[in-house]
Amino acid sequence: MDSQEKIKMIESVREGNTLTLRLSGDWSLKESKPEFNTIVDTFPQDKAITGIKFDVAQLVTWESGLMTFLLKVIDYGKERGLEIYVDSLPDNIQRLLRLSQEVPEKEDVGKRSAEHALLPRIGKWGISNYDGFVDFTRFIGEVFLSILKLLSGRYHMRWGDFFVIVQETGAKALPIVSLIALLIGLIVAFLGSVTLARFGAEIYVSYLVAYGILREMGAIMTGVIVAGRTGAAFAAQIGTMKVTEEIDALKTMGISPVDFIVLPRMLALIIMMPLLVLYADLIGIIGGLLVTTLLLDFSVHQFLEGMNEAVALPDFYIGLVKGTIFGILVAISGCLRGMQCGNSADAVGLAATSAVVTGITLIIFANAVIDWIAAIHGF
């Protein structure tokens, strides 16, 4: 349909001070419609026109395209102070027009809200961080009191639930810890052999593997795995309990959620993380041993002898201490984010994500602090 035919679907006729728009033809979605701006150009431009009315005697069919055109005519009339007469339109069109005018458009639509300005955003950020710090401080205080209650013998743990948590955080994490630790050992040994081969020092690969795995990579990778697996699970479990109002039910019955939910999970990670780190160290060293014996033609005795020369017991102990601290941090981040969870399914997902991010961040920060303290004291 060309532009002339489109304009013929709308004919503007002046009758005194009123402009009559005669609508005709098929206004269904399958047919192209005349552009409103093109029709406006045919309107009289003098100020004698005071109103617009419609003639739909020759209108065949119509759909939403006609409604869009009519709304544009109404907006055009409002901008110029013209009276719009819709009495001649079909009843169903009149009802739709009235419905569209029931809720007026907000005056500030599309404008930048004041709350998105810089100062309000800084204020919200400060208040949010302050509230988070208060929640963290309160949570740590409640955990500390719960630990004191445990040490004083006034805490009665449900040992069946505790051992289930131990199994979930320990034994069921062994497959993924085994895979990652083995790959880390293989990667460290392979990259070390490639780099040291440039200097003819392949014999020191066992030094690199032993020192890197026992002191750093074993604890860090285990902590990251546990943060992504167990920390997120803690946050999701506690968050779901909060959504289903189980936390509120415990408080109503006089049971502390920290005693009943948080402390068993924290104790489980404190116990299992050093064991997982010890296991990861063993698997990582086996991975390094495979590379050195298969690619570098070293004997097992040479690898173990070199490893014994490279590391000492303090390096091994530092790895275990890191694992214990990482377990505490993962438990705190997972349980804290779960207790801070909102009351929706979306909030549970956000809590789990936040727990993982917080746990990994704290692990990296704590590792740097521990290494700095160890360096100061000569370990």
The answer to whether the beta carbons of residues 329 and 312 sit under 8 Å apart is no
pLDDT at 365: 92
* Nearest C-alpha neighbor of 28 from the set 9, 41, 53: 9
The answer to whether the beta carbons of residues 10 and 23 sit under 8 Å apart is yes
Mean pLDDT value across residues 282-302: 84
- Give the chain's domains with CATH numbers: 3-102 (3.30.750.24), 158-376 (no CATH)
pTM: 0.66
- For tokens 């290494």, the residue is 371
Mean pLDDT value across residues 154-165: 82
For the chain, counts of helices (H) and of strands (E):
16, 4
Query: Which range, 18-22, 267-271, 303-307, has the best average confidence (pLDDT)?
Result: 267-271
> Which residues have C-beta within 8 Å of that of residue 305, sequence separation ≥ 6?
206
Mean pLDDT value across residues 368-377: 88
| Strand, coil or helix: 109 | coil
Counted residue by residue, the chain has a size of 379
Say how far apart CA 166 and CA 102 lie, in whole Å.
Answer: 61
Whether 6 has a pLDDT exceeding 60, the answer reads no
Quick one: tokens of 74? 């109404």
Each residue of 99-151: pLDDT tens digit? 776 665 555 555 555 556 778 888 888 888 888 788 888 888 888 888 888 88
Sheet strands (E) in the chain: 10-15, 18-27, 51-62, 83-85
Whether 4 has a pLDDT exceeding 50, the answer reads no
Each residue of 320-361: pLDDT tens digit? 999 999 999 999 999 988 888 878 778 888 888 989 999 999
Each residue of 182-238: pLDDT tens digit? 999 888 888 888 777 777 777 778 888 888 888 888 899 999 999 988 999 999 988
Using alpha carbons, list the distances in angstroms from residue 336 to 235, 255, 258.
7, 18, 10
Say how far apart CA 52 and CA 35 lie, in whole Å.
Answer: 18
Using alpha carbons, list the distances in angstroms from residue 328 to 171, 178, 270, 279.
18, 22, 6, 18
What is the gyration radius of the CA atoms in the chain, in angstroms? 36
Each residue of 39-65: pLDDT tens digit? 666 666 666 677 777 777 777 777 777
| Strand, coil or helix: 365 | helix
pLDDT at 55: 76
